[in-house]
């Protein structure tokens, strides 16, 4: 049985559920359209810094924030378009603005659609007119995030987009990774390293960009919980970023459509023609490998 309920806390929270699989999804449209919780078989899979979440002036650390119209940061937070400079902070503004709920469905799936539209505030930092629609679908052990980007401007709209999921983990030494790439860039040092399915999780911070994927997936196995995360995405997402902090119980696997500073370099930036729409998707699946008892 599928259901959608909502309740009011600091923000209005929409709760999607699938009782057959004991799975759930919580979405907060007012706080950047973010997914804050995702659970399967009674186990919460996402990390959320709940104290930070209560402060709207701070970026959210946790859940699944939306990245648009850039992923990562720009040098000095500045880019140039049509010979004019604009200031845009890290990961863009979509994760900070209120989204509106435009539809809900509880037939053979639990689904909710949110919308964000350009306004005078966004035009100060990003001179394009747009509509974004994100549809979150929950069924069984799977969450699908359908995305629609529409350009209402009279010129091509330049952007990159992505997601920034924070996955909860108790013991990072028990993680095994499968990322179909042969190298990565350390985003802190800009050094390039060969990759052979091993990451040094003892470092204080890892911020790694796998810039050219051989296939459209990433997989993480947690040998402690015997649960596997399988992340799939459309070909539009050509970069996967891995980020974690040593003393924090999370890791991030982030699908991006372009790397940092793409608005300035043009490298793999999306150029969406006027009055056209890009539709794309990301899917998260959680698999229990064996019976697990804590």
d(CA 258, CA 268): 5
In this prediction, residue 212 carries a pLDDT of 84
Size (the chain), residues: 294
Give pLDDT, residue 211: 86
Q: Can you state the percent helix, strand and coil of the chain, rounding each to 5? A: 5, 50, 45
Q: Report the alpha-carbon distance of residue 130 to residue 111 in Å, rounded.
A: 23
What pLDDT is attached to residue 291?
Answer: 55
Ranges of residues in the chain with a pLDDT under 50 are 292-294
Q: How far is CA 201 from the centre of its chain?
A: 21
CA of 118: how far to CAs of 55, 84, 147, 151, in Å?
24, 19, 16, 10
What are the phi and psi torsion angles at 142 (to 5°)?
-125, 140
Task: Count Cβ atoms below 10 Å from residue 160 Cβ, excluding itself.
Answer: 28
pLDDT of residue 198: 84
pLDDT digits (tens, 9 = 90+) for 20-31: 999 999 999 999
Contact call for residues 35 and 26 (beta carbons, < 8 A): yes
pLDDT tens-digit map of 99-142: 999 999 999 999 999 999 999 999 999 999 999 999 999 999 99
Q: Which domains does the chain have, with CATH numbers?
A: 2-288 (2.70.98.10)
């Amino acid at each position: 049985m599928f259901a959608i309920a909502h309740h009011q806390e600091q923000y209005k929270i929409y709760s999607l559920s699938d009782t057959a699989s004991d799975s759930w999804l919580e979405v907060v449209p007012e706080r950047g359209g973010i997914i804050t919780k995702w659970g399967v078989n009674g186990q919460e899979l996402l990390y959320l810094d709940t104290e930070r979440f209560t402060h709207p002036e701070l970026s959210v650390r946790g859940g699944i924030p939306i990245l648009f119209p850039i992923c990562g940061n720009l040098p000095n937070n500045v880019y140039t378009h049509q010979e004019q400079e604009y200031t845009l902070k890290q990961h863009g503004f979509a994760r900070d603005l209120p989204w509106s709920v435009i539809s809900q469905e509880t037939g053979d799936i639990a689904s909710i659609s949110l919308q964000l539209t350009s306004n005078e505030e966004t035009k100060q930092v990003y001179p394009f007119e747009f509509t974004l629609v994100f549809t979150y679908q929950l069924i069984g052990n799977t969450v699908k995030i359908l995305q629609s980007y529409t350009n209402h401007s009279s010129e091509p709209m330049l952007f990159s987009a992505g997601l920034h999921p924070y996955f909860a983990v108790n013991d990072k030494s028990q993680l095994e990774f499968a990322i179909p790439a042969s190298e990565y860039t350390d985003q802190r040092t800009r050094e390039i390293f060969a990759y052979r399915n091993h990451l040094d999780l003892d470092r204080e911070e890892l911020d790694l960009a796998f810039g050219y994927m051989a296939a459209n997936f990433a997989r993480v196995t947690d040998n402690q919980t015997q649960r596997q995360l399988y992340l799939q995405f459309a070909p539009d997402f050509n970069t996967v970023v891995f980020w974690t902090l040593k003393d924090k119980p999370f890791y991030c696997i982030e699908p991006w459509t372009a790397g940092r500073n793409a608005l300035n370099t043009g490298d793999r930036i999306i150029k969406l023609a006027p009055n056209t729409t890009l539709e794309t998707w990301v899917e998260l699946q959680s698999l229990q490998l064996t019976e697990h008892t804590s």
